[in-house]
Amino acid sequence: MRHHHYGSGAMMSFNWLWIVLIILIIAIAIGALVLLLKITRENRQIASERMHALEILNERYAKGEISEEEYHKKRKTIEQYDYLK
């Protein structure tokens, strides 16, 4: 009497290897997406903070509270803000 075996031990190990590889690829893709979303959110927040600071600076300059020299110095500092973080 012959016994038929469907799949051998080596073949089953090979299938598990593919499953682990696919799970690993999916985990890496999800991690990259989460990192990208975090960076994008931080960049939007920095841009928003910079715009708010520039609005205040423009108002102060328009009211004559600061000199033109001080205005340009502070504007340059604000525009470089994201590089300092």
Nearest to 82 by CA among 45, 37, 52: 45
Say whether pTM exceeds 0.75.
no
Q: Annotate 49-64 with b (16+ C-beta within 10 A) or e (fewer).
A: eeeebeeebeeebeee
Quick check: 46 pLDDT over 80?
Answer: yes
Give the per-residue pLDDT at 79: 85
pLDDT of 19 reads: 92
Over residues 72-80, the mean pLDDT reads 91
Locate tokens 């469907």: which residue? 6
So where are the chain's domains?
Answer: 9-84
3 vs 52: which has the higher pLDDT: 52
Residue 38 has pLDDT above 90, yes or no: yes
